[in-house]
Amino acid sequence: MAVKRFTKMEVKTADDLVFGDAKYPVSYGLGMKAGAGFVVPEINFAPRPGAEKNPDTLRREYVDYITKDIMDRAVTLGFPAVQLENEWIFQLGNDPEKFAKPVVAGQKELMKKYHDEYGIMTAIRHTLPDMREAERGLREGMDKKSSYPEKVIESIEVAAKNGADVLSIEPMGGKEMSDYGILHQDIRGWLFGIGYLGSMDMEYTWTKIVDIAKKNKVIAGGDTNCAGANTSMFMAGGYLDKDIPRTFAAVTRCIASARTLVAIECGATGPDKDCGY
C-alpha cells in the first residue's frame, strides 16, 4: 500500500491539542468513539504468575477474572465508556492459535454482554508481542530456529479475526543499536537506531498490520516506541537515580515521536498507544 509522508503539522496551533479531541475522530468496537470530545480511560493488565501454564487457565485468568473485574468496576462507577488493552505475554504470541485465540474471543464475548445489558461503550486493544531477535533476522524466512517473524504476523491475524478492535505492536527494529546508545549515552547512536533503523522496520511492520486490519474491518492503532524510549526513561528514573541523565532520556522520547509517525503514514488511525507520555 502507498505510504503518506507528512511534511507539515495537521493542526495550526498548539491550542488545538486538547485531550479527548481529535481532528479525525475514530469510531470502533462496541459504540466506542475516540477523539470525539471526551476522554476514555484505557485499562492495562497482566495475568498472575502461573496462569500461563495451559490455555484453559490462561483464558480463565484473562476472561473470568481480569475482564469481568474491569467491566464490573466500570459499570459500578457509572463509566459511560472504557477501553481495555491486552498486552500479550510470550505464551500468547508463541502459539497464537492455541493460547491467544480463546482469550481474544472470550474477552470480546464478555464485553459484548456488558455493552448489551448496561449500554457501556467499550472496546479492546490487543498489543501483539514482537519476539523477533535481530541476530536471527527480523523478516519472514530469516529466523530458521524460532520463526518469530512469522509468529508475529500470525498473532496479528489471530487477534484481528477473533475480537480485537484495535491492533498495536511495539516493533523491535533498531533496538540493538538504541540499547547501546542508552548505555553509552550516545545520542547519535540512538538517533540512528530508532530514528533510522527503527523507522525502516516500522514501515515494514505497519504496512502489514494496516493491511490485516482493513481485511478484518478493525482499527490499526499505533505504536509509541515502548521498547526503546521507555527503556531510556525507566533507566533515567527519578531524582535519586543516576544511571543516565533525564535530559538524555527526554531527548530519546522526542526522537521516538518521528518513528511513531511512521505508523500513521502507513495508515494507522489511532487511538495510539499509552506509552507516548
| Range 104-120 average pLDDT | 99
Per-residue pLDDT band for 33 (boundaries 50, 70, 90) equals very high
Nearest 5°: phi and psi at 29? 65, -145
pLDDT at 90 over 60: yes
Cβ partners under 8 Å of residue 256, min gap 6: 194, 198, 224, 225, 228, 229, 276
| Grid cell for residue 48 | 498472575
- Is the pLDDT score of 2 beyond 80? no
**Tens-digit pLDDT profile for residues 216-259:** 999 999 999 988 999 999 999 999 999 999 999 999 999 999 99
> What does the pLDDT read at residue 277?
57
pLDDT score at 246 = 94
Count of C-beta atoms within a 10 Å radius of residue 237: 13
Rounded CA separation 42/111 (Å): 14
Instruction: Tell me the average pLDDT of the chain.
Output: 95
Name the amino acid, one letter, at 141.
G
Strand, helix or coil at 2?
A: coil
Number of helical H runs and strand E runs in the chain: 10, 7
pLDDT digits (tens, 9 = 90+) for 51-81: 999 999 999 999 999 999 999 999 999 999 9
Nearby residues of 182 by Cβ (< 8 Å), 6 or more positions away: 190, 231, 232, 235, 244, 248, 252
Question: What residues form DSSP beta bridges with 85?
Answer: 44, 125
- For range 117-142, the mean pLDDT: 96
The per-residue pLDDT for 227 is: 87
CA distance 21 to 98: 39
Other C-beta atoms closer than 10 Å to the C-beta of 85 total 19
The single-letter DSSP state of residue 30 is: B
- 191-216 average pLDDT score: 97
Sketch the domain layout of the chain as residue ranges: 11-164, 173-277
pLDDT at 1: 61
Q: pLDDT over 70 for what percent of the chain?
A: 99
Label residues 32-67 b or e (16+ Cβ within 10 Å = b). bbbbeeeebebbeeebeeebbeebeebbbbbbeebb
pTM: 0.95
